Amino acid sequence: MIKVNDEIELTIEKLTYKGLSLARHYEDEKGFVVFVKGGAPEDRAKVKITKVNKTYATGEVVEIIKPSKYRVKPFCPLFNACGGCCFQYVDYDFLLEQKNNMLKEAFLQLDYEVEFREPKKSPKDKQYRHKVQYRVSETKNSKRLLVGYYREKTHDIVNIKYCPIQPPLADEMAQFLRDNWHLGAYVEKTGKGLLKSFVVRFSSDIKSALVTLVLNIPYEDFPKYKDEIIDYSKKMREKFPQISSFALNFNPKKNNCILSNEYEYLDEKNYILENLISSDGTKKTYKISHDSFFQVNPYCAASIFDEVKENIIENSTLLDAYGGVGAIGVWASDKAGKIYLVEENSQAVDDAKCNFKINDCKNYEVFLGDAKVKFAQFLKEKKKFGSIVIDPPRKGSDKEALDAISKLSDLIIYVSCNPQTLVRDLKYLDTLGFRAVSTRAFDMFPYSYHIESVTVIKHV
């Protein structure tokens, strides 16, 4: 039996969800599963065992004995330090196949077959990330500012000066922050220091940006720093005319949440406009505010929206649940008969109403509130929808919401960012008489293990 710190030779079989690869140590015919960090399929590698459980072990590659034909050189110089793009050492096209296989394996939990449509790659695999959320801290002695992401499985900040998956303007803004911010930064161990995070959202054409500074103070303490922060914001605007709006977020809580719900806006205009083009050449324009959700990869988002639109029933009423700023509802508005959008974030609802108007949508209603409460209301009113689109958070939906949805429509289109919670929800929907008909993977986050998918579910 293998033990912790053993170094053994293994052949990597495949990549797995959560950023590891899988190999087997053959002490018997079945083989003992070892999840390996840093392995590519068909690698022959020496692996150091770091943990052993009853049914599997974990380890990390310490030497590549014979490299896989799918192994490539990571293009980011901070790949080993950052760990954000965990599969950057794997050929992109092959990685997309592996991600699709991860989705297929998740669907094996279902006791029926589902059509797997050809996976869609991201139109851009570099400089695709248009929302940057950097953590900020400072060194103990020199007080040098650190701006970057957490090192894998730690809260140590990797000081990132170049990130190839983000627009170069993000690197320039982060460096400006390092050089010009003199009010101190947050140190997690002490809980002290002013600046916690630096958040920027770019439009897809990089011509406009939203900048948010997250401060480790309650709002009532803001006057102490107001003049100096406003001076800093003016300097940053002079350097970067792309900044359309500057905001401050107040988050003194000691938790992993980057943003709180409390903002101070330094501009009357606190949004940017995003333009996306559909596969048929139609342009849609979206108002996006500092605290509204919108996909970080706008290029891939358009492909996902096209998939949803393709599968809704023409001229039927569409319920866009968890609708956000109306991204999907607006996109599908020229095919659907009427749009009902439900969203619990008030700023997103304001943006959604504006987005329907910007895009000259005629037939829509927007509802602010908890989705389950609104679903119950629709049931009381005996409403029925031709199609329902749900795009829940990573944790998926819940049984109460799915119960209601199953009574409101015979067609559900599920946009998911987590295959595991998607399949859990599909298994529950099966008990309600619904089955997945088809699914397609979308590579919203190239070189990571994350998988977006659009699944068409029908009453049977």
Q: How confident is the model at residue 45 (pLDDT cuts 50, 70, 90)?
A: very high
The DSSP symbol for 156 reads P
Contact (CB, 8 A) for 354 and 285:
no
Residue 211 has pLDDT above 90, yes or no: yes
Report the alpha-carbon distance of residue 306 to residue 405 in Å, rounded.
22
What was the pLDDT predicted at 280? 87
Domain segments of the chain as ranges: 7-71, 96-124+274-459, 131-265
Buried b (16+ CB within 10 A) or exposed e, 49-67: beebeeeebbbebeebeee
Residue 384 has pLDDT above 90, yes or no: yes
What's the average model confidence in pLDDT over 412-422? Answer: 96
Q: How confident is the model at residue 95 (pLDDT cuts 50, 70, 90)?
A: very high
Residue 92 has pLDDT above 80, yes or no: yes
Strand duo 411-416 + 364-368: pairing: unpaired
Residue 347 has pLDDT above 90, yes or no: no
Strand partners, 275: 285
Contact (CB, 8 A) for 364 and 340:
yes
What's the average model confidence in pLDDT over 4-21? Answer: 95
- Which span out of 82-96, 237-251, 392-406 was modeled with the highest average pLDDT? 237-251
Average pLDDT, the chain: 95
CATH superfamily of 96-124+274-459: Vaccinia Virus protein VP39 (3.40.50.150)
What confidence tens digit (pLDDT) does each residue in 250-284 have?
Answer: 999 988 899 999 999 999 999 999 999 998 889 99
Report the alpha-carbon distance of residue 70 to residue 312 in Å, rounded.
38
Question: 179: helix, coil or strand?
Answer: helix
Q: Architecture of domain 7-71 in CATH? A: Beta Barrel (2.40)
Strand duo 452-459 + 411-416: pairing: antiparallel
The pTM of the full predicted model, rounded to 2 decimals, is 0.93
What was the pLDDT predicted at 29? 73
Of the candidate CATH numbers 2.40.50.1070, 3.40.50.2000, 2.60.120.260, 3.40.190.10, the domain formed by 131-265 belongs to: 2.40.50.1070
What confidence tens digit (pLDDT) does each residue in 316-331 have?
Answer: 999 999 899 999 999 9
Strand partners, 117: 440
What confidence tens digit (pLDDT) does each residue in 59-68 have?
Answer: 999 999 999 9
What confidence tens digit (pLDDT) does each residue in 144-153 have?
Answer: 999 999 988 8
What's the average model confidence in pLDDT over 47-60? Answer: 96
Residue 458 has pLDDT above 90, yes or no: yes
Contact (CB, 8 A) for 177 and 198:
yes
Residue 30 has pLDDT above 90, yes or no: no
User: Which secondary-structure segment (H or E) carries 226?
Assistant: helix 226-239
Question: 435: helix, coil or strand?
Answer: strand
Residue predicted with more confidence, 27 or 93 = 93
User: Which secondary-structure segment (H or E) carries 258?
Assistant: none
Q: Of all residues in the chain, what percent are helix, strand and coil, respectively (each to 5)?
A: 25, 35, 40
Report the alpha-carbon distance of residue 411 to residue 226 in Å, rounded.
52
Per the listing, tokens 């958040």 go with: 199
User: Which secondary-structure segment (H or E) carries 35?
Assistant: strand 32-37
What's the average model confidence in pLDDT over 409-416? Answer: 97
Using alpha carbons, select from 181, 133, 3, 151 the residue that is nearest to residue 80. Answer: 151
What confidence tens digit (pLDDT) does each residue in 357-377 have?
Answer: 999 998 999 999 988 899 999
What confidence tens digit (pLDDT) does each residue in 115-125 have?
Answer: 999 999 999 99
Contact (CB, 8 A) for 138 and 145:
yes
Contact (CB, 8 A) for 320 and 328:
yes
